[in-house]
Amino acid sequence: MSLTSRPIHVTYAYQQVAEEIEAQILRGELKPGDQLPGETELAQMFGVTRSTVREGLRQLESDGLVHRPSPRRLEVAVPQADQLTTRAGRAMALMKVSFRELWEVTMVTEPLAARIAAERASLDEIELLQGLHADLVAAEGQMARTIELDEAFHTRIADMGKNRVLGLAREPISLLLFRGFSQIAPYATQFYKRQIEAHSNIIAAMRDRDCDRAEKWARMHIEDFWRGAQIAGLEDAVALNPRALS
């Protein structure tokens, strides 16, 4: 007997509060920056206790839909990318994703990022990127710093393409992947040179507005990374959560 039973949806009061406010935000009745009534008032409005409202608010807060600049102000939040990044990164770490999985995706995101950056970046932005690259060159030998700067370099490129979807999608992935570099660096000693070469070429290509070249160098750069992972024998190793390292 197959009796199609939809799991009944018991909605607790605090959930309803959260959902109602969420719905209003999603429908645009509440716009980012708008201030919400105080807890007591909300409690009255919904006909529940303040405790109940609070639980709902905590949920919305951690959903990133509302936000407290100060304990006194409760306002509709503009969605924060880093919130999502944290969450996605955590999820991937808990899922124990392998470097291979991360790499495969990075292998398409970074070239795309380089391509559209080459197409759209302003000269100022390219200059800033150059500065970041200089820092990276100067940091030769310091692994932790190198990783941090490399990651920043790639994120910057992604931002330059002015594609927020790409930014959102790639950030948690590149975070995990590049951080993981600390595990492979000891095995890939000549990686630094190749990295610098690749970065230089990407910048040069961007100066020339040569999308194809920028894309190609980005791809080669990520391929190099993979070679390092192969040498280190970490292709199917699990990427660690950056936040768990502290």
Among 7, 28, 71, 141, binds DNA (CB under 7 A): 71
How many Cβ atoms sit within 10 Å of the Cβ of residue 75? 16
Among 33, 38, 79, 131, binds DNA (CB under 7 A): 38
36: left (phi over 0), alpha (psi -120 to 50) or beta: beta
Residue 67's DSSP bridge partners are 75
- Helix %, strand %, coil % of the chain (to 5): 70, 5, 25
User: Using CB under 8 A, which residues numbered 43 to 62 contact a second copy?
Assistant: 51, 54-56, 58-62
Among 163, 182, 183, 201, binds a second copy (CB under 8 A): 163
Any idea which residue has 């610098």 for tokens? Answer: 196
Q: From DNA, a second copy, none, which one binds at residue 227 (CB under 5 to 8 Å depending on kind)?
A: none
40 is an interface residue for a second copy by CB under 8 A: no
Number of residues that bind DNA (CB under 7 A): 22
131 is an interface residue for a second copy by CB under 8 A: no
Instruction: Pick the closer one to DNA by CB: 70 or 190.
Output: 70
- Residue 202 and residue 218 in contact, taking contact as beta carbons nearer than 8 Å: yes
- Residue 239 and residue 180 in contact, taking contact as beta carbons nearer than 8 Å: yes
74 is an interface residue for DNA by CB under 7 A: yes
Burial class (CB within 10 angstroms; exposed 0-12, middle 13-18, buried 19+) of 120: middle
8 is an interface residue for a second copy by CB under 8 A: no
For residue 25, what are its two tokens?
């935000």
Q: From DNA, a second copy, none, which one binds at residue 88 (CB under 5 to 8 Å depending on kind)?
A: a second copy
For residue 129, what are its two tokens?
């990127």
Instruction: Pick the closer one to DNA by CB: 73 or 164.
Output: 73
Distance CA 118, CA 211 (A): 5
Residue 35's DSSP bridge partners are 75
Provide, rounded to whole angstroms, the least separation between the CB of residue 154 and DNA. 36
Provide, rounded to whole angstroms, the least separation between the CB of residue 159 and DNA. 31
> Site residues (CB under 8 A) for a second copy?
14, 25-28, 32, 51, 54-56, 58-65, 78-79, 81, 84, 87-88, 90-95, 97, 100-102, 104-105, 107-109, 111-112, 116, 163-166, 168-170, 173, 241, 243-244
